[in-house]
Structure 1
Amino acid sequence: MKAPLLTRSIVRGIFLVFCFILSGVTAFATHLRAGNIIVKRIGTCDAKKYSITVIVYTNTLNTNVLFGGDQDYLDFGDKSPRILIPEIGPGHPNYSVIDAQRGIARAFYTVEWTYGGPGRYTISYVEPNRNEGVLNMDNSVNTTFYIETQIVIDPFLGCSTPADLTIPPIDRACSGKAFFHNPGAFDPDGNDSLSYEMVVPYRDRNATVLNYRAPNDPKFYVDFNTGNETDDGPPVFNINSLDGTITWDAPGFAGEYNIAFIVREWRKVLGKWVAMGYVRRDMQIIVEDDCNNQRPDLEVPEDVCIEAGKTLKETIIGTDPDIPPDKVKLEAFSQIFEFIPSESPATVSPDPAIFQNSPGKLEFEWHTTCEHIREQPYQVVFKVSDSRSNGVSLVTYKTWRIKVVGPAPKWNDATLDISKRQATIKWDPYFCVNAEKMQIWRKVDSTSFRPDTCQTGMPDYLGYTNIATIAAKTASGTQVTQYIDNNGGKGLAPGAMYCYRLVATFPLPDGGESYVSKDTCVGPIPADVPIITNVSVEKTGTTDGQIRVSWKRPFDANKTLYPPPYTYEVYRAIGYTRGTDSTLVATLSDTTFLDPGLNTEESIYNYSIAAYSPGSSLPIKFVGASDVASAVRLDTKSQVGQIQLNWTAVVPWSNQIQDHPRHLIYRGPEGSTESELVLIDSIDATIDGLQYTDKGQYNNTPLNEGTTYCYRVKTRGGYGNPAKIPEPLENFSQIICVQPGDSIPPCKPILTVDLLDCDQFKSQQNSCFGSTYSNVLNWSNDAATECQSDISSYRIYRSATPGGESVFIAEVPAVQTTYSDTNLPSFARCYTIVAVDRSGNESEPSEPVCNDNCPYYELPNVFTPNGDGKNDVFSAFNIRDYLESCSNPEECVIPQNLIEKCARFVEKVKFKVFNRWGQEVYSYESGSENSIFIDWDGKNSSGVELSPAVYYYVAEVTFITLDPGSSTQTFKGWVHLVDGQQ
């Protein structure tokens, strides 16, 4: 039970007086209450330019100290000198009083800054001092106020724009009543997610304030065990990590409390979330007493998806439970209200907010456009406040999420060219002209799938393959509305009906995608070659495995040109797909073949069938060959209490068909043969995909750790041509055995990288004009085979510097032991790799391996700036003139001595020229539109031509290398400026 109100007030008063006596200064003195730094990118990521705004809330009671001035430093985080923020106070346009009664004013300072290169930069502001009387830290009036925001500029991750926070970091609470607050944060980039975490306020970088206590510390309560609003439990204080709502249930002693929290930005890169920048906000909560009030409530719509081009209208209702009810004021905060008029911002009415009789209404309306499409939903934070003339008003926050998605593309036509075995598919001009790409998906056989609301893109489980992603527009801006599918030049598979769907995608940073289109189909393709129908593992073994291969005769072949009966050749290769290593394993007249003596336990096999006609005379005629089809490969992932199965086959038919969707799951004890396995379950492959998790559902018998279970799967598929190729086509996987709950990780792999040979690289004709590069990785396993037998995949990580933050870039199957990291801006990268077993256990990372660039820079010692077009400027050695004269630069023949001297892997150049008396006559720095080649025209910095003479230079060149600390080199030399007319 809580203490009586009078008693609690007396206790709090004694507590506050005691705090003030300890501080030894006048209450309510200087001066900073709360704040944060908001950073916005200006222009493109490559520009590395940002607008930085420091926002603070100051105390105005009993103090004339202003924001900014001596000792008030803004640090850009790039080792450049700190700057002082000028004093900003009454009369300044960046200053405003927001609550005169409580002495609260807002001030801000904005500056633009350009960063020199990639990096993770922590921008910070420090100023003495906080305002007096903050209860949950010691001696606040003599405690420095510190805030920071971090940005990331990375060539792989892109640039970060940390969250913008729309609701001020100062709020009022009522003692004994639960307090709620939301910062109203949003991601300006649109494609990132935000998370929230509570931290301790700072007094300097990495230095917390002294003796910080959380606001729900027992020190601030008469009876801590009944400190919540309902008097039945201790108070809680936390922040929702997903939506940022701060809950304090409930405040104790009246007074001022400061808290801090981080709003962190996360970006999805290659399927994994990577931490980007963050905002560290320092916030003040002013708790007041005597709150005989009940909190108002909000009714907000459910989270929604809306198709771009449609209008969203909703009514938000705020109510007050007091009798009689207080008036209520409803407010909304979101970036969608801040769009300029041409960007169709959302609106609310009434605006500005007013107090209304309860229930109050806020009418929301937003006419969405294609420019609003993005991957992440927009967040609208609603706030309802009640009106109390004799006490503190209470508030409630609720968040509404709105996702704007692209409409589904619409088909126009689809035709089949039988002679070329290719399809031409056409669609209407897309509604959203800002779409960047059009994804083209293909599947054998049709499906009636229609996406649910908010289900954008192509679901993985439907079995479609992304055969192409093309630009939505040509270079001239005309929409692309057709695609020709010839199956990568191989032609569409005979016997099959092909169906297509489209998904439009939108450019970063917002990203986003459309609903998937309906399907459109062509075919079936004439079956004028053998049609392979079965590649089924009949027996699993390392030396005695068997695979049954079956096919249908070429029933659409021209029997005049290719009269039956036909002879068939069966070809086999290892792997899912065919390379150049196929082997003839049988010649026969039948349409089925049992292939014996195989290692079906460890290897994957694929097959094709060639048909021959005897004709009327020798030699026999080649009718044609089937498409390649692999066996079904089953893999497992062992987990505690369950085993996950995944299976794959690369075949010309579909194993996810609507008429026969169910795949069958068989299981048995260790040592079971195919006939001893029992059917335990089935899955709908068009809904669940090609996976199944055994949790002991069969006979309700849990799986036992230490017990080995063996599995086999039967797939069922078809060509979408059941009249001529009966369905379902049934094929078995191999048997695979596993125990649940495996916790033993694989051994650490041994990784190598094909290191760059600089002498060889510098001699190559294309080394001077490469714009993208590749690193080839190779790995092997430790000799200890007992920890290698169940490896299922390898995960590859990359970093830009030795010991730098590693980023996941790829996961490859266990059968693969090499990987090419392509489209890199330079070779300078480090790598590690981990092995992953079927239970998801990861090995220790391999020892890191790094490749580096071969940087080079050389300057000549003579030039003749006489305007004759020959040697007119002083430039680093390069091959620009040769490239400009070639229609195909990679076929240009460039003098070998110039190849070896050309500038390579140069990030920036600072260049100064001095006369013989040591006076600087010219300076130059690359960047923006300035070239790294310098191209000095012989004039001084004022544009006046210099006299022919010998001049001396210093060039500070920063190369792109692994070690930033040693990447800058200084070149000193002389150059003879020659008149050229002599």
Structure 2
Amino acid sequence: MNVSLPTWHKGLPLAVVTLFILWLLPLATHASHIRAGDIQAKSDTTAARNPRRVFFKMVLYTKLPSRDVADQPNATIFFGDGTSTGIDKVQRVGNGTVIPSAPNTKVNVYYFEHIYNAPGQYLVSFVGEYRNKEVRNLSNPASQAFYLGTSITIDPALGINRSPVLTAPAIDQATANQVFLHSPGAYDADGDSLAFKLRPSKRASTPATIITRGGVVDTSTVPGFQYPNKYDTNGQRVAYLGTPAGGQADFQQDVNTGLIVWNAPSSQSIGEYNFAFVVEEWRRVAGARPRLIGTVIRDMQIVVGPSTNLRPEVTIPEDICVVAGTTVNGAITATDPDRNPVQLFAYGTFPPITFQQTATGPPTARGTFRWVTSCEDVRRDPYLFTFKAQDVPTGGNPPLIDEKIWRVRVIGPPPQTLQAQRQGNSTRVVLTWDRYQCTQASQMLIFRKENPSDFIPSDCQTGIPATAGYTQIGAIDAGLSSFLDDNNGQGLERGKTYCYRIYAVFPLPKGGESIASAEACVTLDGTSALLTNVTVDRTAANGQVTVKWTPPLNQAGFTEPAGYRLYRAPGQNVAATSTAFKRVFTTNSLMETTFVDAGRNTIDSAFTYKLEFFSRDNTSPNAAETRETTAPASSVRLSGRADEAASGNVLTWTYNVPWDNTRQPTTIYRRAPGSPTFTLLATVAGTATSGTYTDRGSAANPLVAGETYCYYVQTNGAYTSPNLPNLLNSSQEICVAPVPCRPILTLQTTNCDSLAANLYALPTTVIGPNQRYTNYLRWQLDANSPPNCNLAVTGYQVYYRSPDATEYQLLATTVEPNYVHMGLTTVSGCYQVRAVGSNGELSAFSNEACNDECQLFLLPNIFTPNNDGVNDTFRPKVTSSLRRTHFTAFNRWGVKVYEGDQDPFINWDGGGSSEERSSGPQLSDGMYFYLAEVEFNDLNRTKRTYKGWVQINR
């Protein structure tokens, strides 16, 4: 800056001239003036579409320039990759615009862009000098830098991305003793989900300092920051939306809408307040959790003034849901208790949405909202429109506002004219419908159920709820208009009615769905072959399972020769299309409907079967084979255990079958000790996929303590169509032995008190990286824990928890009632043991037994660092295992001469001023004092401090 002094300055003292120059300097440099602002970002939408190029728009709200208030014609931006625009290289658009509703304020707009070198996440920052001096909830605001930050993600996979846009001004007015409301009017053009969170106002170093540090922006909370309600402790809540009056004022922001509520400033709150909030931008990604791809930090200002004015009240329509293509008309009204005119504003709108105020009142201000929706507007989340009513008071009172948010959700129209037809005489169904009218949709989802549904979508219900009973069977491109249902190549079952619905889904990130189509049904004549039995005949390693089925009826579409193929897969929950199925039986006789599957390990495994009915047309050499496959059916799998709490044997069984096991009860059979046969024990209600029963014996036939009982169960199922009852299927047999007795564990521990009492007489501890310890464990079974437990065990499981762990891990298995745990780096640790019965039953865990390090530590009073290999370093004479030692040495005048914490055993060689220089300049011989802060390697990480002296003699 060049200052031309008038000629009369020559007669003035130099000090006066200097003061005059210093008084002028702030006018053109950094006088306090910045009120609020935010930064918006948008990826490259030009024809070149460079995914690493980003365009930015920054909006700042500043005080009007004056003699002691600077203007902000330029800005400095840091791009988060170590680069910047350079000092004041970004120019403002024009001279800024004065805001009538915010006295002494204008809005400044800056545009800039940047090309990043690589994908990644970057924080774009602005640092301005300085905040306006009138802010009350900051310390010395006129000397505090103003900080804004917007984070972006450079990722070509994201495509075009635009940051949230906050359409409401970042400065607003409040009045004492009345609720303050502010909605940022945020919207995201890409349909990303937004979340709002309050944050303290931030500051950073000056731009010049940041540049000298390589462009790294160091932010911190502005000193003295408090949220407005915490700064003004006199504020009291007033009655608002059901909240009663009274209690300390609160200051909150709705995480979903961004609405800020200060309820309420007091008459002591007159002044200006700043705070920040972050808008998080979450991108929904198919098949993954939502991803945070950007944030916008807005630092905003509230101006609280005194007033006798009462705020207006705005009325908006009820939240609605509309089908794309509907025209949304909304009437917005407002009244003012002081009968002042009211201005209406709409935020969060975008073309082609229009809002026009038609009357200001009194008595009533009116406005009209109009939006002709289209398929492009479909999305999962509702649109949020903020309507603000601001009165125009008289008598110099500041205007007051009321705000409300209207939620409008746009959903896809239902697909039209869905039809279902059988494909010839096959077991396939062809679905057709009109081409979907919304070309923006990505997929059409296909759903099927047996028999018609009474599901009718409500006005705003998209998709198909699980309660409707449908199962998704396909997903195709939304541009298609037909689908072939062949049940994944297995064919559908004849004799059943199949009903279908479809609906459209829209692509992420907006997402969204359509209303489901009307239902279309088709009935397949005839009856397919049906599996009826998968029953275990013999329980053994080479056991046996019998599989039975019924022949098909009405074989229209099937020609001779015909037959069956039976497939088997291990386990129970096996999909019909699984490659685990292997063919085990083929026959060309339709009357052969039983297969005995011998050599199966029914002790350890369950099995699932599916049947394929096939036919070939031998009259045509190119004719394809016709197939019809049943739904899979599994064997019944039974498990059991002795239950200490229930004082009995708990049985659990599972199955996965196409017939219904709920109509008839399931029967449980038991074989008592010494008996060769099973007898009926009980019946329980049948269930769809599993069952359970606890055998506690009875008064007439109690369970004998310590004895083993054997069981099997038999289910009784049925098909509805055709009527096939009494499908009896047995599980394998199991035997339940008593719970093994609980071990009582003892651990050989060290007598730390005795060692500590004889500390000076103990031999020198050998210190080295290969030092190892051993723990000795023994246990015995408690014959009464639980009562009647089994003493005949086959082995034990030993569990160990190290000092750094929170959970036990299996350490070893043994058949002996003892264990030696060797090779430990510390004796600290805890143990538990479980006994194992003959059938794999596990006892309860034993008591916990822990060993711990003693806290032994003794330093000598002399060492001789003369490199003769004897006593060359200062280290403990006696010590337990250590985690860390922070050692500091001082000379006789209290000056620190050495400090280190890398070696738990110190090993100081008498030189250096730090550990890194311990082999540097050697200290002179003499007496030194030390402070050793020791952390032991015991379970509690005990810390102790030792002080003393040591003599260095060379």
Provide the TM-score with structure 2 as the length reference.
0.57
* Structure 1 residues 73 and 497: CA distance shift in structure 2, 3 A: same
1:672-715 deviation digits (Å, cap 9, x = unpaired): x99768669x99xxxxxx999xxxxxxxxxxxxxxxxxxx9999
1:633-662 deviation digits (Å, cap 9, x = unpaired): 999xxxxxxxxxxx99987x699xxxx9x9
Per-residue deviation, 1:238: 1.4
Separation in 2, partners of 1:318, 1:667: 72
Per-residue deviation, 1:124: 1.1
Q: Which residue of 2 aligns with 1:42?
A: 44
1:379-417 deviation digits (Å, cap 9, x = unpaired): 111112233223233222211111111111112543222
Q: Which residue of 2 aligns with 1:557?
A: 555
Separation in 2, partners of 1:301, 1:664: 56
> Which of 338, 356, 376 lines up with 2:350 in the alignment?
338
Separation in 1, partners of 2:119, 2:429: 46
Sequence identity of aligned pairs in percent?
31
8 Å Cα contact 2:153-2:293 kept in structure 1: yes
Which SS does the other structure have where 1:607 is aligned? strand
* Structure 1 residues 147 and 583: CA distance shift in structure 2, 3 A: same
> Which of 371, 378, 384 lines up with 2:383 in the alignment?
378
Q: Which residue of 1 aligns with 2:79?
A: 76
Separation in 1, partners of 2:714, 2:137: 63
Per-residue deviation, 1:216: 1.1
Kindly name which structure, 1 or 2, has the bigger radius of gyration based on alpha carbons: 2
* Structure 1 residues 314 and 114: CA distance shift in structure 2, 3 A: same
8 Å Cα contact 2:450-2:498 kept in structure 1: yes
Q: Which residue of 2 aligns with 1:319?
A: 335
Which SS does the other structure have where 2:142 is aligned? helix
Mapping of 1:554-953 within 5 angstroms?
554-557=552-555, 571-574=568-571, 575-577=574-576, 578-579=578-579, 581-582=581-582, 584=584, 605-609=607-611, 626-631=629-634, 724=722
Please tell me the residue identity of whatever aligns with 2:228: P
Q: Which residue of 2 aligns with 1:305?
A: 321
Q: Which residue of 1 aligns with 2:126?
A: 125
> Which of 414, 424, 444 lines up with 1:438 in the alignment?
444
Which SS does the other structure have where 2:228 is aligned? coil
8 Å Cα contact 1:150-1:162 kept in structure 2: no
1:243-270 deviation digits (Å, cap 9, x = unpaired): 1111111113211100100011123333
What are the ranges of 5 or more consecutive residues in structure 1 without an aligned counterpart?
Answer: 1-24, 340-344, 474-479, 614-621, 636-646, 684-689, 693-711, 738-781, 790-982
Separation in 1, partners of 2:133, 2:321: 47
Q: Which residue of 2 aligns with 1:236?
A: 250
> Which of 361, 365, 369 lines up with 1:360 in the alignment?
365
1:925-962 deviation digits (Å, cap 9, x = unpaired): xxxxxxxxxxxxxxxxxxxxxxxxxxxxxxxxxxxxxx
Does 2:53 match 1:55? no
Please tell me the residue identity of whatever aligns with 2:299: D
Per-residue deviation, 1:733: 12
Q: Which residue of 2 aligns with 1:163?
A: 164
Q: Which residue of 1 aligns with 2:260?
A: 246
* Structure 1 residues 715 and 377: CA distance shift in structure 2, 3 A: farther
Q: Which residue of 2 aligns with 1:280?
A: 297
Separation in 2, partners of 1:160, 1:717: 57
Q: Which residue of 2 aligns with 1:30?
A: 32
Per-residue deviation, 1:145: 0.8
8 Å Cα contact 1:570-1:586 kept in structure 2: no
Does 2:485 match 1:470? no
Please tell me the residue identity of whatever aligns with 2:309: N
* Structure 1 residues 679 and 519: CA distance shift in structure 2, 3 A: same
What are the ranges of 5 or more consecutive residues in structure 2 without an aligned counterpart?
Answer: 1-25, 205-217, 616-624, 639-652, 672-678, 692-712, 737-797, 802-806, 811-954
Separation in 2, partners of 1:784, 1:717: 51
* Structure 1 residues 624 and 230: CA distance shift in structure 2, 3 A: closer
* Structure 1 residues 363 and 539: CA distance shift in structure 2, 3 A: farther
Per-residue deviation, 1:128: 0.8
Per-residue deviation, 1:188: 1.7
Separation in 1, partners of 2:187, 2:509: 14
Per-residue deviation, 1:592: 7.8
> Which of 348, 357, 374 lines up with 1:369 in the alignment?
374
Q: Which residue of 2 aligns with 1:967?
A: none
* Structure 1 residues 132 and 572: CA distance shift in structure 2, 3 A: closer
1:605-625 deviation digits (Å, cap 9, x = unpaired): 421235699xxxxxxxx9966
* Structure 1 residues 560 and 567: CA distance shift in structure 2, 3 A: closer
1:113-169 deviation digits (Å, cap 9, x = unpaired): 333332111111111111112111111111111101111234666665321111011
Per-residue deviation, 1:599: 8.4
8 Å Cα contact 1:88-1:107 kept in structure 2: no
1:208-233 deviation digits (Å, cap 9, x = unpaired): 2112111112x534577999997621
* Structure 1 residues 350 and 604: CA distance shift in structure 2, 3 A: farther
Per-residue deviation, 1:586: 11
Which SS does the other structure have where 2:376 is aligned? helix
Separation in 1, partners of 2:344, 2:714: 58
* Structure 1 residues 559 and 521: CA distance shift in structure 2, 3 A: closer
* Structure 1 residues 98 and 420: CA distance shift in structure 2, 3 A: same
| Structure 1 stretch displaced more, 278-287 or 455-464 | 455-464
Separation in 2, partners of 1:552, 1:370: 52
Per-residue deviation, 1:170: 0.2
8 Å Cα contact 2:37-2:61 kept in structure 1: yes
Which SS does the other structure have where 1:99 is aligned? coil
Separation in 1, partners of 2:733, 2:41: 57
8 Å Cα contact 1:296-1:396 kept in structure 2: yes
Q: Which residue of 2 aligns with 1:195?
A: 195
Which SS does the other structure have where 1:216 is aligned? helix
8 Å Cα contact 2:418-2:517 kept in structure 1: no
Q: Which residue of 1 aligns with 2:355?
A: 348
Q: Which residue of 2 aligns with 1:97?
A: 98
Q: Which residue of 1 aligns with 2:747?
A: none
1:15-66 deviation digits (Å, cap 9, x = unpaired): xxxxxxxxxx99x962100000011233398734332001100011544522
Per-residue deviation, 1:517: 1.0
Per-residue deviation, 1:76: 1.9
* Structure 1 residues 607 and 161: CA distance shift in structure 2, 3 A: same
* Structure 1 residues 215 and 554: CA distance shift in structure 2, 3 A: same
Which SS does the other structure have where 2:229 is aligned? coil
8 Å Cα contact 2:379-2:409 kept in structure 1: yes
Separation in 1, partners of 2:129, 2:258: 29
8 Å Cα contact 1:215-1:237 kept in structure 2: yes
8 Å Cα contact 1:94-1:109 kept in structure 2: no
* Structure 1 residues 498 and 157: CA distance shift in structure 2, 3 A: farther
Please tell me the residue identity of whatever aligns with 1:284: Q
8 Å Cα contact 1:307-1:407 kept in structure 2: yes
Q: Which residue of 2 aligns with 1:215?
A: 228
> Which of 440, 443, 463 lines up with 1:457 in the alignment?
463
Separation in 2, partners of 1:183, 1:115: 30
1:800-819 deviation digits (Å, cap 9, x = unpaired): xxxxxxxxxxxxxxxxxxxx
Please tell me the residue identity of whatever aligns with 2:501: R
Q: Aligned pair count?
A: 639
* Alignment RMSD (CA, Å): 5.2
* Structure 1 residues 223 and 279: CA distance shift in structure 2, 3 A: closer
* Structure 1 residues 626 and 485: CA distance shift in structure 2, 3 A: closer
Which SS does the other structure have where 1:272 is aligned? coil
Which SS does the other structure have where 2:290 is aligned? strand
Please tell me the residue identity of whatever aligns with 1:482: S
